[in-house]
Amino acid sequence: MPRILVLGGTSEASRLARALAERGDEAVFSYAGRTLSPVTQPLPTRIGGFGGADGLAAYLRHEKVTAVIDATHPFAAQMSTNAVHACAQADIPLAAFERAPWQAAEGDRWQHVPDIEGAADALPDGARRVFLAIGKQNLGAFAGKAQHHYLVRLVDPPKAPLPFADVEVVIARGPFEADEDRALMRKHRIDIIVAKNSGGTGARAKLDAARALGLPVVMIDRPKVPARKTCARLGDILHWLDHSARLGV
C-alpha cells in the first residue's frame, strides 16, 4: 500500500485528508505549526518543519513515504520548493494540489504587484484606511507606510505588538462570506484592500465585497515555485495517486 505524505495548511489539504481517510489510505498529514489550534485531521498528524529539503528527503526515506502531495498554500513557496528538491533527491513522486489563481472580473479594480514589497509600494502617499488581508507574516513590509490606518485580520491574537501606530486587529478564521466582509469594510471605512492571490472560495469574499463597494485591491501575484505536477481538483489528485504515483511518474 502506498504511504502518502500530505503537506497541509489549507482547506484543500483538509478535503484531501478526508478523502484519503475515507478511502483507507495510509497517509500522514503535516502542519508547519503556525496556528495555535490547527484544524484536526482524520489522519495521523505531525507538526513542525523538517529541516529544509535535506531534512525532508531524510524524513521521506526514514518513513518509507511513497508519494508526496503538496497541498500547502500557494504562498508557501519555501515549503513547495523544498518538496520539489527533496522528492527529486529521494526519488519519490510529487504532485501539488493547488487551487487556480483568481482572475479579475468586470467591476474589479485590481492592481497587480509581484510581491509584498510591491504591495507596500503600491499604497498611495496620502493617508488611507487599508485592509491588510494577508495573514500575520510579512506585515513588517508595511511598517514604513505609517501614514495609513490598518485593519489586520488574523487567525490568532498577535503575540507581539504589530509594527503600526494606527491599527485595529480582527481575529477570525475563514471561510468568510461576502456580505460579512462588506459589513466589515463599511464598519472600518476601508479605502483599499491588500490581498494575496490565494485562489479558492473561502478567501474570495473580500474581493466580492470590494467589487460591490467599488474599492481598489492591491493583488499580490503568486511567488514562483519550481515546475511540478499540479492538480486543481480533488478527483485529479486522487487519480494521480492511483495511477502515475504508483508507477513513479
Contact region for ligand NAP (CB under 6 A) — 27-35, 89-97, 146-154, 177-185?
Answer: 27-35
Site for ligand NAP in 42-81 (CB under 6 A): 49-52, 55-56, 72-73, 75-79
9 near ligand NAP (CB under 6 A): yes
Site for ligand NAP in 195-224 (CB under 6 A): 196
Instruction: Give me the phi and psi of 81, to 5 degrees please.
Output: -65, -45
Of the candidates 27, 82, 164, 218, which one interacts with ligand NAP according to CB under 6 A? Answer: 82
For ligand NAP, how many residues bind (rule: CB under 6 A)? 25
142 near ligand NAP (CB under 6 A): no
3-state SS of 76-119 is CHHHHHHHHHHHHHHCCCEEEECCCCCCCCCCCEEEEECCHHHH
230 near ligand NAP (CB under 6 A): no
Output the smallest distance, CB 223 to ligand NAP, in A.
Answer: 9
C-alpha to C-alpha distance for 9 and 98, rounded to whole angstroms: 12
C-alpha to C-alpha distance for 78 and 181, rounded to whole angstroms: 30
- 7's grid cell: 503537506
Contact region for ligand NAP (CB under 6 A) — 8-16, 112-120, 206-214, 230-238?
Answer: 8-16
C-alpha to C-alpha distance for 223 and 118, rounded to whole angstroms: 12
- 195's grid cell: 490581498
94 near ligand NAP (CB under 6 A): no
Pairing label, strands 149-154, 94-97: unpaired
Cβ(1)–Cβ(12) below 8 Å: no
Output the smallest distance, CB 13 to ligand NAP, in A.
Answer: 7
Output the smallest distance, CB 67 to ligand NAP, in A.
Answer: 16
Residues at the site binding ligand NAP, with contacts judged by CB under 6 A: 7-10, 30-32, 34, 49-52, 55-56, 72-73, 75-79, 82, 135, 137, 196
